[in-house]
A and B are shown apart, each in its own frame.
Chain A
């Protein structure tokens, strides 16, 4: 599998970031970086990572299916993750989830038809002090209300309008 020069460099560095014989430690970061670039973890990528770190594709599959932040299906350009764990739930996280799901007309781990947004109901994202919190790709948004969420989504759309 051919990787972008950027990813190739990252992978090369990762292989030297761990003590000799512990190259499989690079598995998760490799999958994360590649997913960011490719939008998903493909079977081809699984095999490529396995080959590079010296384990079997099945071992990569074990890790890949264990971690919910690694995805085998493509996500939207913006992956909206709404926390409904305890602190967020008490401060309106569940309502926020209902609102987002209704607005985008998609459910948990689904992608909108245009591929722009995808939605996921997640467990605690470590932002309880600012609950309810959501995460869009790698960005956090605090004290989110349905109105704030609407503005955020509209903003992302217009920013990307051609």
Chain B
């Protein structure tokens, strides 16, 4: 790296790499130069003139956002001349601004408000009528209020650069310029809402949040999105026990400010009218409301009875419940109920990948690796649609570091647009496609391979062998579907594996086998919907379901116990790349309980609480950290809301791999398994209806 450039900003000595912009160099010494159009990570615009600074020997003020540092440069960021210039800039920005702050969604967290407050541009010399245009609705989630817009182009850039969509533009010229959507009067896009959150003012507002509250009336709860497996942090705005918005404007979490429509708007299932708020018991063939104590006692009685005669239990776990719940559930099933019939819906072959990588270190990619590594190979997955944050990382890597992206897929994908090479293959031809890239990949210095469910079983071993043959460091990501699909595997929600990928050495039935079994006496389903697309052979089995909604599976239940959603509980989840993060409790739904507590109460009512231990998330996580391989993660990171990378087993996993059971649901941006059905917002956008 070239020698750093030395300069002085507000009397402080600064050293910065050549090419660093003054606005960024100032941040190195804690000086914040105000700006609207400048946005870290996006292309430069130099449109707003807020970042003007005084530079010694320069005849006039210069824009810090486009000014690279130079040796010996002396910069002053807050002189009277600078303050006056900023005040005038603000006066211009306010000429047509409606100043409807008292009713504006952004009021209180508006960058324009903050700047006017800071520079005191309280008077205007503009006495003409302000230009007014009516606000427009571009989609169920995006509204545009033109007069509030200060034309900083942030939305336009985040949409085209960050998202690779390019659904927004600026039309007209001068004072009548405005943001325009890609289809005349409406948007056809990802509906991610990135444009809304990045807007420094209240010009772009969201359909779920607008005119609902003042920002200071909410509690801001940073938790992990419960939809796909990417593990984005979403900061829930909670007021009176209700989630009003999701965003991540503080850029906390592995995803920075990135969120897709699910993370930003898909929280509305929590107060869906069909949400279960009381246990249900089957009386004379019909499900009727019951109290918690009665329902739990009935479950405990039945479980105790079947357990006493060594009857057959089947347990199906969830891809959305926490690690603690999964761990506790399998512990309960294995040590209390004495069954190894425990499984969940598997969506990626993590097991074979870990086995194939045994003996190697640092071969598991994190989400950060996708942004930092020099080359990425995507195999058999439409990332932008199915794994949106991973796609965002790769796009950002391409923009910022010129990463080489290779794509091997059946259909066209958005990543084609940034790819160094694209291979179209027929279904099942993914590996051949990968092999055809061998020569090109050998010229890379490092690589991350991201693969979907078309690569499973032996194909995973072959892919790893291919990676080894390249002679460069290769990291892998085995894609899985949901927020804790990975955690379900890690915690041993499969018959053949105990937590930490230890072989269970005891035969147990898979989901399919449980449903096929005619002798099953109890089926206990925790947060899953296996009967959505399959029937259950054991007609007389006693079915207990912990669920948020009356799903197909819950409708078959003898007892339904209303469960809390991931937004209503604490615990940890593990994302697709094996990064563990902590959930925080946002709202609560009356009548529902977290699954961990429900399982604990069943144990208590059976008089076996001591066998499973306390149903307190922190206590269970302590046990996980102590006993599950790979989970001895630093508590400081977890507690502070960070993501800790788990390093599961580094040795052979001597179990029969079951690639036949691995199927991704291939949820797109607008679907989310059973959960998606209960999100009105996901169902309301036109792109979702088309899909």
Contacts and interface: CB of A to CB of B under 8 A. Distances in A.
21 contacts: A56-B166, A56-B169, A56-B182, A57-B182, A58-B166, A58-B168, A58-B169, A58-B181, A58-B182, A59-B166, A59-B169, A61-B169, A61-B180, A62-B169, A62-B170, A62-B171, A62-B180, A65-B172, A66-B171, A66-B173, A68-B173
A22 to B, nearest CB: 17
Interface of A: 56-59, 61-62, 65-66, 68
B79 to A, nearest CB: 36
Nearest to B156: A62
Chain B binding surface SS class: strand
A158 B519 CA distance: 100
A115 B522 CA distance: 83
Contacts of B180: 58, 61-62
Contacts of B181: 58
A57 B169 CA distance: 10
A56 B181 CA distance: 12
A66 B170 CA distance: 9
A57 B167 CA distance: 10
A105 B181 CA distance: 36
Across the A-B interface, give the 10 residue pairs with the lowest CB-CB distance, nearest first: A65-B171, A58-B169, A62-B169, A58-B182, A65-B172, A66-B173, A56-B166, A62-B171, A62-B170, A61-B171
A14 B593 CA distance: 67
A144 B668 CA distance: 65
A55 B648 CA distance: 45
Nearest to A60: B169
Given A57-B182, A58-B180, 8 more contacts: A56-B169, A58-B181, A59-B166, A59-B169, A62-B169, A65-B171, A65-B172, A65-B173
A114 to B, nearest CB: 30
Nearest to B178: A65
A62 B180 CA distance: 9
B622 to A, nearest CB: 53
A92 B168 CA distance: 43
How extensive is the interface on chain B, given as a class? 10 to 19
Contacts of B167: 58
A68 B172 CA distance: 9
A59 B170 CA distance: 8
Contacts of A68: 173
A122 to B, nearest CB: 14
Nearest to A62: B169
Contacts of B166: 56, 58-59
A56 B167 CA distance: 9
A66 B167 CA distance: 18
Contacts of A62: 169-171, 180
A66 B180 CA distance: 13
A62 B619 CA distance: 58
Contacts of A66: 171-173
A149 B181 CA distance: 43
Contacts of A58: 166-169, 180-182
A59 B166 CA distance: 9
Contacts of B171: 61-62, 65-66
A132 B181 CA distance: 41
Contacts of B169: 56, 58-59, 61-62
Interface centre among B166, B168, B181 (most CB of A within 10 A): B166
Among B169, B172, B181, B182: residue with most chain A CB under 10 A = B169
Contacts of B168: 58
| Most central of A57, A58, A68 by chain B CB within 10 Å | A58
A87 B165 CA distance: 46
A57 B180 CA distance: 12
Contacts of A61: 169, 171, 180
Interface string B200-218: 0000000000000000000
Nearest to B181: A58
Contacts of B182: 56-58
Interface in B142-174: 166-173
Nearest to A57: B182
B669 to A, nearest CB: 19
Nearest to A65: B171
> Which residue of A59, A65, A66 has the most chain B CB atoms within 10 A of its CB atom?
A65
Interface in B169-199: 169-173, 180-182
Nearest to A66: B173
Contacts of B172: 65-66
A45 B358 CA distance: 59
Contacts of B170: 62
A43 B168 CA distance: 17
Interface in B65-103: none
A3 to B, nearest CB: 23
A59 B159 CA distance: 13
Nearest to B170: A62
A65 B171 CA distance: 6
Contacts of A59: 166, 169
Contacts of A56: 166, 169, 182
A31 to B, nearest CB: 14
A56 B171 CA distance: 13
A53 to B, nearest CB: 14
A65 B184 CA distance: 13
A58 B171 CA distance: 9
Nearest to B166: A56
